[in-house]
């Protein structure tokens, strides 16, 4: 369903000499389906198909209609990490209530080793992007060997949908892997995005054999290649579903309010 659709586009200012053509600009745009906050309040209705999403990017993360699993988009394929921890490539007509994708163009690469936990990884990533991401986004790939990988998925929901926090109380499934190879797909959103998405890092994992995956809760990196794609543009597609969010829950950030 694509009724009542609106598109908001924001783009960070380029320098005076920034003459990127449209195709290049689109590759440097983070595309977002709906609000994460819509999901928070129980809007699990898919509003865009997997094939439409792939027109907007070849890497990313998200979830599926009815909160049916965690999405990992890698190398142009949309994968679903299901509630039993297994992974499948989805059909083009599968629908999606929330996602972020972009086209991955590597701006930087380095090897990382012996990163003991997810907080240490986030510290490393924050330091890495501190001078470069600015107000923009950063999409990463971490491909290699992990000593530990702790992921979660969730059971498909039935209507009437419960708020996300309530659904996760009973319907999350957890999987802990040791000595596993694969790729973490990650998104960094700046702090000002916290009304539209989650600020900071959001990480999903898919194993090298494409059989295991989920939303990353913890990890221990043995040795891996970290690739970063700084992405200054932003495009968001809203749907009519956002009316489900109670008005009193939509608050402007205090800093943005007039004095």
Min dist CB 221 to Zn ion, Å, is: 18
Show the binding pattern over residues 215-254: x = contacts Zn ion (CB under 5 A), - = does not: x---------------------------------------
Q: What 8-state DSSP symbol labels residue 42?
A: T
Q: Which string of x and - marks every residue 60-79 that binds Zn ion (by CB under 5 A)?
A: --------------------
Identify which of residues 215 and 241 has a Cβ nearer to Zn ion in the complex. Answer: 215
- Name the minimum Å distance from CB 198 to Zn ion: 8
The stretch among 23-31, 149-157, 212-220, 247-255 that binds Zn ion (CB under 5 A) is 212-220
Residue range at the interface with Zn ion (CB under 5 A); choices 88-96, 186-194, 214-222, 237-245: 214-222
Query: Which run of H or of E encompasses 52?
Result: helix 50-54
Mapping DSSP onto H, E and C, the string for 201-240 reads: EEEEEEECCCCEEEEEEEEEEEEEEEEEEEECEEEEEECH
Q: Does 152 bind Zn ion (CB under 5 A)?
A: no
Interior/surface letters 187-205, b for 16+ CB within 10 angstroms, e for the rest: bbbbeebeebbeeebbbbb
161 vs 205 by CB, closer to Zn ion: 205
Whole-number minimum distance, CB 111 to Zn ion, in Å? Answer: 25
Shorter beta-carbon distance to Zn ion: residue 128 or 215:
215
Interface with Zn ion by CB under 5 A: which range of 24-32, 126-134, 143-151, 213-221?
213-221
| Buried/exposed 9-42: b ≥16 CB within 10 Å, e otherwise | eeeeeeeeeeeeeeeeebbbbbbbbbbbbbbebb
Residues 6+ apart with CB under 8 A from 54: 73, 76, 78, 92, 101
In the complex, the smallest distance separating the C-beta of residue 172 from Zn ion, rounded to whole angstroms, is 11
The phi and psi torsions of 9 (rounded to 5 degrees) equal -125, 130
In whole angstroms, how close is the CB of 223 to Zn ion at the nearest point? 24
Q: How far is the CB of 70 from Zn ion (least distance, A)?
A: 6
Q: Which is nearer to Zn ion, 36 or 221 (CB)?
A: 36
Residue 95: both structure tokens together:
């629908």
Instruction: Return the residue nearest Zn ion (CB atom).
Output: 215
User: Which residue, chain included where needed, has tokens 């792939």?
Assistant: 54
Q: What is the dihedral of CA 189, 195, 196, 199, to 10 degrees?
A: 20
Gap between the Cα atoms of 258 and 39, Å rounded:
29
CA atoms within a 13 Å half-sphere pointing along the CA-CB vector of 10? 11
Contact window for Zn ion (CB under 5 A) among 24-32, 172-180, 210-218, 239-247: 210-218
Cβ closer to Zn ion: 82 or 215? Answer: 215
Residues that bind Zn ion (CB under 5 A): 215
């Amino acid at each position: 369903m694509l009724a009542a659709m609106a598109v908001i586009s924001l783009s960070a200012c380029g320098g005076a000499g920034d003459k990127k053509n449209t195709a290049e600009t689109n590759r440097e745009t983070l595309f977002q389906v709906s609000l994460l906050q819509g999901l928070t309040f129980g809007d699990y209705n898919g509003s865009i198909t997997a094939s439409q999403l792939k027109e907007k990017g070849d890497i990313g993360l998200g979830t599926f209609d009815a909160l049916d699993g965690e999405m990992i988009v890698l190398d142009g394929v949309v994968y679903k990490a299901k509630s039993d921890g297994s992974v499948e490539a989805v059909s083009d007509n599968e629908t999606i209530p929330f996602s972020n994708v972009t086209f991955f163009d590597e701006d930087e690469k380095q090897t990382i080793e012996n990163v003991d936990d997810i907080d240490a990884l986030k510290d490393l990533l924050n330091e890495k992007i501190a001078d470069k991401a600015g107000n923009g986004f950063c999409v990463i790939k971490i491909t290699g060997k992990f000593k530990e990988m702790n992921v979660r998925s969730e059971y498909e929901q039935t209507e009437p949908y419960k708020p996300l926090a309530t659904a996760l109380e009973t319907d999350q499934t957890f999987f802990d892997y040791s000595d596993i190879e694969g790729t973490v797909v990650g998104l960094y959103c700046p702090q000002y995005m916290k009304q539209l998405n989650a600020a900071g890092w959001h990480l999903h994992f898919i194993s090298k054999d494409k059989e295991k995956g989920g939303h990353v809760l913890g990890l221990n990196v043995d040795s891996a290649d970290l690739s970063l794609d700084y992405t200054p543009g932003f495009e968001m597609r809203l749907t009519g579903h956002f009316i489900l969010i109670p008005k009193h829950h939509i608050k402007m950030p205090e800093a943005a309010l007039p004095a």
